[in-house]
A and B are shown apart, each in its own frame.
Chain A
Amino acid sequence: MTTKLFGTKVARVEDQRFLRGQGRYVDDLLHDDPRLLHSAVLRSPHAHARITDIDVSDVLDLDGVLAVWTYDDLTGPMAEPLPLLIPHPTLTHGRTQYALAKDEVNYVGEAIAFVVAVDRYVAEDAVSRIRVDYDYLEPVVGIDAARAAQRLVHDDVPGNVGARMEQENGDARAAIADAPHTLTLDLDIERSACTPMEGRGTVARWDPDTSRLTVWSSTQTSTGVRGCVAAKLGLDLARVDVITPDVGGGFGVKINHPWPEELLVPLAAMTLGRPVKFTEDRREHFISSAHERAQQHHVEVGFDDDGRLLGLNVEFWHDHGAYTPYGLIVPIITSTQLLGPYKPLNYRVVFESLYTNTVMVTPYRGAGRPQGCFVMERTMDAIAAYLGKDRTEVRSTNFIQPDEFPYEHGLVFQDGRELTYDSGDYPASLAKLKELVGWDEFEQFRAEMAAQGRRVGIGLACYVEGTGVGPYEGAHVHIETSGKVKVATGLTTQGQGHQTAFAQIVADTLGVRFEDVEITTGDTRKMPYAVGTFASRAAVMSGSAIHLASLRAKEKALRIAAEALEADESDLEIVDGVVSVRGTDASPGTRIDLGTVAVLSNPLRYAFDEASKAATQFSVGDPGRPPVAEDDEPGLEGKDFYSPQRSTFANGMHAVIVETDPDTAEITILKYAVVHDCGHLINPMIVEGQIHGGVAQGVGGALYERMVYDESGQLLNASFMDFLMPYVTEVPTTIDIDHLETPSPLNPLGIKGAGEAGVIPSAAVFAAAIEDAEGFPITAMPISPSELYALRLAHADDPAEAAEAATTTAG
């Protein structure tokens, strides 16, 4: 029997290539092509202004410049606004930008003109020669200004409100009014961003000989880009191929599409008849891609003496920036996923999604969940503090119990489906976490540290993550006559180790050697039907599709082999790429390798090598029947799609022990523990890698990163010098991880997504631990030592006043 690979720590096969610098990213492509042209974009220096004139007359004189586009040069669909990708009935005032600004600009960084030149240096020289006249308008920066609505981002959007959405299960306000205890909290999260190592990038080549456009883009959805390019440039879909090469990280920002450059580059390539490249630089990434996370929340909660949530009423305000190309996905996720593993008896949530003159917001790893988790977990901690109970006890009281699955929340999730959890065992997860972090021994540790003049605190946070959203993914499995297995799935890869994890599934399902499996992702030539890689969906969606397609290929292989071996299909097994009669020795006539089966699957008229001779017309087939049966097709292939009824819900719990320096207010991580449940693990090493990366990114979001806009809408820290992504020196050197596996009943492999988990509880868990160390409420994240110091002063000056000013108030 072949060793089962599913569930084992197979080393990632892609790492050799990446670590040796042999990855091929968009910017590496066509590098040696002397015809390749480069582009640069003139971006708005103002957050809000009307464009009164654009003068490009100085540009074309410059040696090496081939073309410049402004809005006036765009025609047809290109002159229309970019798509609003995910409409929603409550998004009554959705707005998207133009590929190049028309009449006005609404954030610093908005594209105004597009220059194509022989190299990027000349293109940037040219950009600096374009003269734009602006009528400056007062910008709307930050949620407070958006809510105040003294100025409008878009004249035709009253109150700066793009959407208002409300959901309720029960009657939360009545339940709170009747509850024995109530609390209100105001909780804020600031902006951050994905900041992948590789920014955006697109290369396009128009082939006039075949009338075909090839676009390579650093995207999380090649099929999405393909659809947009074809529609905007007026091409038949069949004339457009989109290929996603190696991608240096996405984390959400590359699921938004099409970016202006994803359309302008192909347009330029077709117009100029030469390949064109755009590679975003770091400053551009900060000011013209997408951000996330900024939300203000107001919570009212009513509970009983045990801390049971009788009523929870959450209002929040979501800053979606200048435009809404990705709809309301982020706030919808916050509004539904903040429930976590808990079951408030009555729940109401209402949010407003607001325009500001800042970079637009699209999902960033976690996508609204970190905010939701922060809100719910801060509420749990406040209830525990109010009742004088252990924080884990209040959580346990509110957990959905293992026998309550599937659990229906009575709300609608981001995919338009009912919010129904499929499986989980939250009490078991919590027990593991307490053990892992040493929850019950912490007070002793605190006392020991206090004796040394050191201050420590512990926090925990729980989350549930809807993963594997639809609508579908597909896979195509092709067994070549060499016995090699070529697998294509349409979603993209940006570092998740798909080559490894998907090959594990194929090797197990089909019975072939892991080394013989090659996975292709994100290439519309190989698999034109696909959605994309986001929402922790690749393993669930493509993993399941690959499993199903492998089963189809296996079924066919067994049928052909049974005929060849004159055996019954049910007696056959496939091990290491060889079909044999189960229980027989290796005698000839009882076994046939898959390569030969592949030869036999494709009746040939012409032999092209030794192996193919076996499939020619005088060698095989029943002369009394057609060579390819009526319901069959040539080739040893399997193709299938996986389309689940709804998302599957992974969960996890994090705990952290921090030390806060009594003098400098520096925050140090002493221990970080994670209990994670994503159902069956395909590759525990990859899952743990995802958790490590997520935790590191979460440390950034909680303690270091923020987008600092000034009043005029300038982003003050648009570089890695001032946007403080943590270094390896700032993230925990070890992360203790334990897994629980409650399989999903929704897919054949029992798996759930794991991509975002590590980052979701960070703000919540660090706020809890710092609060525990310091003894005053932490209600806004991220937090820096300077801010912690300010809080200390506020609470030391006048403890009573500070307590009153604190946003946690008992009612």
Chain B
Amino acid sequence: MKPAPFAFLRPSTLEEALAALAGEQGAKVLAGGQSLVPLLSMRLAAPSMLVDINAVPDLGHIDIDEAGVRIGALARHAEVLASAEAAETQPLLAMALSHVAHPTIRNRGTTVGSLVHADAAAEMPMVLRLLEGSVDVASVRGRRTIPAAELFAGPLESTLAHDEIAVEAFFPALAAGAGVAFEEIARRHGDYALVGVAALVQLDGDEITGARLGFVSVSDIPTVVDVTEAVNDRADPAAAALAELEPADDIHASAEYRAHLVKVLTTRVLAAAIDHARSRARKVTT
């Protein structure tokens, strides 16, 4: 379990890092390394060069304003999770992050890294999609913003070009009248979820004007389903969602069981998100 040989570069500026990436087709970016390093060790990945961005300044920020939470490429999961302000602005961040692996992994792993790793079994890519956030990427060619809906190309595949570095993620603030909830079932605490479901609901008084669900581990790419209609028609939101999901068998659970958990968790998180929205509304009024 030792990586194949690779060149290692630890640039001290973003420009240097971008130039290195542009100049080396087989280069990979190393931030927290929680997914990349095991892949290297098992020789499942053999990049010609690692561009370690940990010495690049000004990438570790967690900036919060009314619009939402901006998370730099070097901000660790643990730091985001520890930010009371971030949790206040967008409660779903902390709800989901507490399910991301274990403290030791969260201490090193980065939220932005998790997003561009694009694992449909991971919590944060789903959260970004559900909240309709975005990722800012940079390259020698300039900077661009990729909306969450356009970030995920396929299993473990983002739409970043080879020479691009994701420098910041943006998670919109939770709107007034909105509520969120997240729940997942994993075999062991901190494992990848067998199924995870997050809900984002928007209330206008007692009326549900929006209800969207984000799913973990039941599709190839992070998937969000709008169930507003099903909720308001007193139809089955889980059935609506399952029409767009592809729960599959693996060594830990059958497709049938996963579909069942989608139903159980959908019911739970929708109720919890509505409660959350109402309790926020009460706080505002009192």
Contact = CB atoms under 8 A, between A and B. Distances in A.
Interface in B149-198: 185, 187-191, 194
Contact of B189 (A281, A708, A730, A784): A730
B5 interface: yes
B33 to A, nearest CB: 16
B253 A128 contact: no
Contacts of A789: 254, 256-257, 260
Interface in A469-520: none
A774 to B, nearest CB: 15
13 contacts: A121-B5, A124-B43, A128-B43, A663-B264, A665-B257, A666-B185, A721-B191, A727-B102, A729-B188, A786-B254, A789-B254, A789-B260, A790-B256
Interface in B203-252: 251-252
Contacts of A785: 185, 187, 253, 257
A716 B189 contact: no
Interface of B: 1-5, 42-43, 102, 185, 187-191, 194, 251-254, 256-257, 260-261, 264
A621 B257 CA distance: 85
B281 to A, nearest CB: 28
> Interface on chain B toward A: helix, strand, loop, or mixed SS?
loop
Contacts of B1: 124, 281-283
Contacts of A708: 251
A304 interface: no
Given A121-B5, A724-B187, 14 more contacts: A120-B2, A124-B1, A125-B5, A724-B188, A724-B252, A729-B188, A730-B188, A730-B189, A784-B252, A785-B185, A785-B257, A786-B194, A786-B253, A789-B254
A319 B185 CA distance: 33
| 7 residue pairs, one from A and one from B, having the closest CB atoms | A729-B189, A786-B253, A786-B257, A281-B1, A121-B2, A708-B251, A663-B264
B158 to A, nearest CB: 21
B3 A121 contact: yes
A187 B91 CA distance: 48
A414 to B, nearest CB: 33
Interface in A693-740: 704, 708, 716-717, 721-722, 724, 726-727, 729-730
Nearest to B267: A663
Nearest to B1: A281
A454 to B, nearest CB: 15
Nearest to B260: A789
Contacts, number: 64
Q: Most chain-A CB neighbours within 10 Å: which of B3, B188, B194, B256? A: B188
Nearest to B255: A786
Contacts of A784: 187, 252-253
Interface of A: 120-121, 124-125, 128, 281-283, 663-666, 704, 708, 716-717, 721-722, 724, 726-727, 729-730, 784-786, 789-790, 793
A121 B251 CA distance: 31
Contacts of B256: 789-790, 793
B108 to A, nearest CB: 16
A87 B2 CA distance: 39
A729 B190 contact: yes
Nearest to A708: B251
B188 A726 contact: yes
Contacts of B43: 124, 128
Contacts of A790: 254, 256-257
Nearest to A725: B188
A727 B186 CA distance: 12
A128 B190 contact: no
Q: Most chain-B CB neighbours within 10 Å: which of A664, A722, A785? A: A664
A745 B54 CA distance: 66
B261 A664 contact: yes
B4 A283 contact: no
Given A785-B257, A790-B256, A704 B189 contact: no
A721 B35 CA distance: 12
Contacts of B264: 663-664
A634 B263 CA distance: 81
Nearest to A283: B1
A622 B5 CA distance: 75
Contacts of B3: 121
A717 B188 contact: no
A665 B185 CA distance: 10
B4 A125 contact: yes
A708 B253 CA distance: 12
Given A121-B2, A708-B251, A727 B189 contact: yes
A218 to B, nearest CB: 17
A724 B190 CA distance: 12
A493 to B, nearest CB: 27
Nearest to B5: A125
A574 B264 CA distance: 70
A716 B250 CA distance: 10
A65 to B, nearest CB: 14
A727 B188 contact: yes
Contacts of B251: 708, 716-717, 722
Contacts of A727: 102, 188-190
Given A120-B2, A121-B3, A124-B2, A786 B188 contact: no
A183 B202 CA distance: 59
Contacts of A666: 185
B255 to A, nearest CB: 10
A135 B3 CA distance: 29
Contacts of B185: 664, 666, 785
A708 B252 CA distance: 10
